[in-house]
Amino acid sequence: MGNKKWYQLDEEEVVKEWKSDPVKGLTKKEAEKRLIRYGPNKLQEGEEISPLKLLLAQFQDFMVLVLLGATLISGLMGEYVDAIAIIAIVLINAILGFIQEYRAEQSLAALKELSAPQAMVIRDGEMMKIPASQVVPGDLVRLESGDRVAADLRLLDVQGVKMEESALTGESVPVEKVKATIPDEDLPLGDQGNMAFMGTLVVQGTGRGIVVATGMETEMGKIAGLLHHAEETKTPLQYRLEQMGKVLVWLAIALTILVMGLGIWNGNDPQEMFLTGVSLAVAAIPEGLPTIVTIVLALGVQRMLKKNAIVRKLPSVETLGCTTVICTDKTGTLTQNKMTVTKIFANGEEWSVSGSGYEPRGEFYLGNTKKDPSVIPSLKNFLEVGVLCNNATLYERKEGKGRTGDWSIHGDPTEGALLVLAAKAGIWKRDLENVWVKEWEIPFDSERKRMSVLFRNREGKRILVVKGAVEELLERSSSVILHDRILPFERVRKEEWLRKNEDMAREGLRVLAIAYKEMEEGRMEKGKGEEWEEGLTCLGLAGMIDPPREEVKDSIRISQQAGMKVVMITGDHRLTAEAIGKQLGILPENGLTVTESELYNMSDEEFGEKVEEIYVYARVSPSHKLKIVQALQAKGHVVAMTGDGVNDAPAIKAADIGISMGMSGTEVAKEASDLILTDDHFSSIEAAVEEGRGIYDNIRKFIRFLLASNVGEILVMLFAMMMALPTPLLPLQILWVNLVTDGLPALALGLDKPEGDMMKEPPRNPKENIFARGLGWKIISRGTLIGLSTLGAFLLALNQGATLLTAQTIAFSTLVMAQLIHVFDCRSDRSIFHRNPLENKALVAAVLSSILLLVGVIYWGPAQRIFDTVSLTYTDWLWILLFAAVPSFLSGVLHLFFVGVKKGRK
C-alpha cells in the first residue's frame, strides 16, 4: 500500500489511486479480488495453541506425573501388566481431556469471530454492513457517531465529525475532522485532520472515507503494541474451583496416606498399598473440574447464541443468574422499532394518517374527510422539512428484476417514519435532493434532543431544517404557521401546542416537532451552528407509535416472576413512557415515573431513597444511566443495563451485566458490553438470564456428582482399613472407576436442560459459596452412603463365602453402579424421583456406555486378567443393584417424607 502521505492528496487523486468510485464505491467482485490480494483486515494475534501442545499439556498435571512415577516403580518391581494398564488409562484420560479442551478452544474462537466489529461500506452503490475483517483498500466507508473505525481512511465527506484518537495518539480530547487537502510535510498523526485511523472512535457527526490501508499496514498495525488486547482471564467460579482443587489435593493426599498407613499396619503388601494410595489420590482429586467448567461455559454460550445473545466475557455467564434489576431501553428492545406516524398537528389542525409499517400507502384525514396534503402549502412544507432533516433511506426490497412490495428503511426508525409519511403524500427524498443540496449538519444528539441541517438550492437560497423534542423546539421558535400564515409564537399558543403534545403522549405516541428557518444571504461561519437554531418557525407535530413486541409482555412477566425488577429508560415524553410501561406490565399501580429534570434536581441521597420505587425513567438522556446503575448497585442490586449509543458506554461498563444492541448498537457500546443481543429484543435478555442460571446449576450438578463419587471412593477404602478388612478395591480398579464415571457422565450433566421452575426462583446471591444451599451436605452425605453401600456389598460377599476376587469384583461393580445411579440424582436439588431420567439423552448414552465398559471388564478374559475381576452370577448382580440403589433411593424417600411433613404443617 506504499508510504504515501494520503492527507496531502485531494479527494479525486485518492479515488483515482485506488480505482474506486466516490459515490458507488467498489464493485462486489472487485472487493472479493482485493480481499484475496491484500488479505483480511486484521492485526496479527498471538500464537495459537497447537493441538500437539494441547495434547502434551494433558501430561503436565501434577497427579498424572505422580501416576506415571508409580507406573515406573511398578515396572521396576516386575508388575508389567499393572504398569501397561496404568499407562493405557493415562493415555485414554489424556485423549479425552484433549478432545474436551480442543472443542472448548474452538467454541471460544468461534464466539470471538461472531463478536468481531462491523463496518458500513458502500459497494455497487448499496450500503451494507460487513465484518471489519472484510474491508479492503479502496472501499468507501460510511462513518456515524459511535462507530469504531475499521481501517485507515482518507475522508471524502464530513458533517460535524469529531473523533477520539487516544488509542493511537494518547490525546483524549476529540479532534474535529475536515475533508480539505493538507499540504504540510511530515505531520504527526494527531494533526492529519482529513484522516481517520483504525481503532479510533467517531464521537460526533457523520462522514464518508476511502480505505487507504488495512490490517498490519494501518497506523495501528504499525504500532500494534499500543492496542489493548483483551486477556484471557479465569471466571470467578473457575478461580474459586481452582483454589478448592488445591485444598482437595492436599486433603486427598492426607487421606490416601492414612489409608496406605492403615493398610500396611494391617499387614497388607506395602507395594500394593503404595499403588492403591497413588491410584486413590488420582481418583479422589477432581482434576477434570476446570476443563469441564470451561466446556460447560462454552456450550452454554453456544446455546445463548442460538437465543440471539453473544457472550463477550465468560464471567458474565455466572453473573446473569444473580441479576436482580434489568434496566432496558424502550425503542427496538421492548418495541418493534417500526415507527409509524398516525397523527399530525399542523397548520392549526389535527390530522390522522392511515397505514402501518414502512409501506408508503395510506390516507390523510381531517376529521372524517380524506384530503390530499400535497395541495395544502403549510402541510406540504411540514412533510418536506421532515424529509430533508433526515439521514434515513426508504427502499423496496427487490428479487432479481422484480419488485417484492416489501419496504424497509436504512437508518433511524423515527426518521424512516417521516419518510414513509411524506411518501404517502407523493413526496420523495430523491426529488427534494435534486433541488436542495446539503451544506452542513448538526447531528441529533441525545443531550441536545434535536437535529439541524443546512440546505442551499440552485438560486443560492439557504434554509435550516430542524426536528426534535417538542419542548426543545418550542423554546427556540419565535413564529408558527397557522392556517397558512406565519404568526408570532406567543406563550398562549405554545401552551396549546404543549397540551396537544401531552394529548398525543397519553395515547402512547412519540411526538416530534418540526421547524425551519430561512437563513440570511452571505457567508455563515459553520462554528456558529447552534446559534442558527434560535428564531425558528414551527411547522407542526408528528405523533408516531412503535408498537410493543408481541412476546415482550410474557418475557417481562417471567422476569418479574424470577425475582427481577424491570425498569424502562426512554427519551420519550413522560405520558408516552407511562402508557407503554402500563401496557407492558412494567409500571405497577404505585410505581414511580421520573423525568430527567426531576432526576437532575434530586440529591444523591434523595435519589437513593426513591430508586427502588422507580420503574420508568422518561425524557432521560444516556448520561443519567450511569447514575441509575450506581444508585441501584448501592442498594445491593445486581444490575443489567442495555444501551446502543456512545453515551450509553459508561453505564454499560459500570453495570454488572452490560448489554449492547447487535443491530442498532455502536461499536463503542458493544466493546463496553458483556453481552450483545443480535436481535435487539428484550426477550433475548430473559432467555440469556435463564440460560445463565441453567449453566451455573449444571456446574453445581457435576461438582456434586464428582465430589460425592470421590468421597465414596476414599471412604470405602478408609473404612475397610480402619476395620482391618482386606482391600475392597485394587489400584487399577480405582483408576478405571475414575476414568469411566468421572468423564462422560459428568460432562453430560453439563448438557442438562434447566428445571422447568428455575425462573420461579429468586436470583442467586453473587457472594454465594459454590457449596451453598445444602450442596456441601449432599456431597458428604451421599459420598458416605456410596462408600458404606460399597463396603456393605463387599462384606456380604465375604460372609457368604465368596472368594476375595469375587468380593472385590462385587465391590468394584457396586461402586460404579452407585455412581451411575447417583448421576441421575444430581439432576435435581430435590430427589431422583423429581425428573424424568430419560430427558437428558446424552446422559443416558454416557451411562449406558459406562455400563457396557463395566460388563466388558468383568466378563472379557483379557480384561479380567488385567483388572483382577471374575465373572458374576445373576444373584450377584441383584445384590449389586440393590446396594447401589440404596443411597439415591434412601435420599429420595427422605426428601418426599420431609416435603410431606412441611405440607402437613401448612
Catalytic positions are 329
Q: What distance separates the 2 farthest-apart alpha carbons in the chain?
A: 114
User: Nine-digit cell at 149?
Assistant: 473505525
- Cell 421452575 found at: 757
SS3 for 212?
Answer: strand
- Identify the helix (H) or strand (E) that includes residue 761: none
Q: In angstroms, rounded to a whole number, what is the distance separating the alpha carbons of residues 731 and 447?
A: 71
Other residues' Cβ atoms within 10 Å of the Cβ of residue 129: 11
Q: In angstroms, rounded to a whole number, what is the distance separating the alpha carbons of residues 473 and 632?
A: 33
SS3 for 126?
Answer: strand
Q: How far is CA 879 from the centre of its chain?
A: 51
Q: In angstroms, rounded to a whole number, what is the distance separating the alpha carbons of residues 35 and 486?
A: 57
DSSP annotation of 410 reads E
CA-closest candidate to residue 783, choices 252, 247, 272: 252
DSSP annotation of 129 reads E
φ, ψ for residue 404, nearest 5 deg: -100, -20
SS3 for 838?
Answer: coil
**Number of residues that this document lists for the chain:** 906
Q: Do residues 301 and 294 lie in contact, with contact meaning Cβ atoms separated by under 8 Å?
A: no
The β-bridge relationship of strands 639-643 and 614-618 is: unpaired
Q: How many CA atoms lie within 13 A of 100 on its CB side?
A: 24
Q: In angstroms, rounded to a whole number, what is the distance separating the alpha carbons of residues 218 and 3?
A: 11
User: Nine-digit cell at 807?
Assistant: 468380593
Q: In angstroms, rounded to a whole number, what is the distance separating the alpha carbons of residues 273 and 296?
A: 36
Strand residues in 576-656 grouped as ranges (E): 592-595, 614-618, 639-643
SS3 for 832?
Answer: coil
Indicate the residue type of 29: K
Q: Do residues 111 and 306 lie in contact, with contact meaning Cβ atoms separated by under 8 Å?
A: no
Q: In angstroms, rounded to a whole number, what is the distance separating the alpha carbons of residues 209 and 142?
A: 7
Q: Given phi > 0 = left and psi -120 to 50 = alpha, else beta, which region is 2?
A: left
SS3 for 75?
Answer: helix
Q: In angstroms, rounded to a whole number, what is the distance separating the alpha carbons of residues 257 and 279?
A: 11
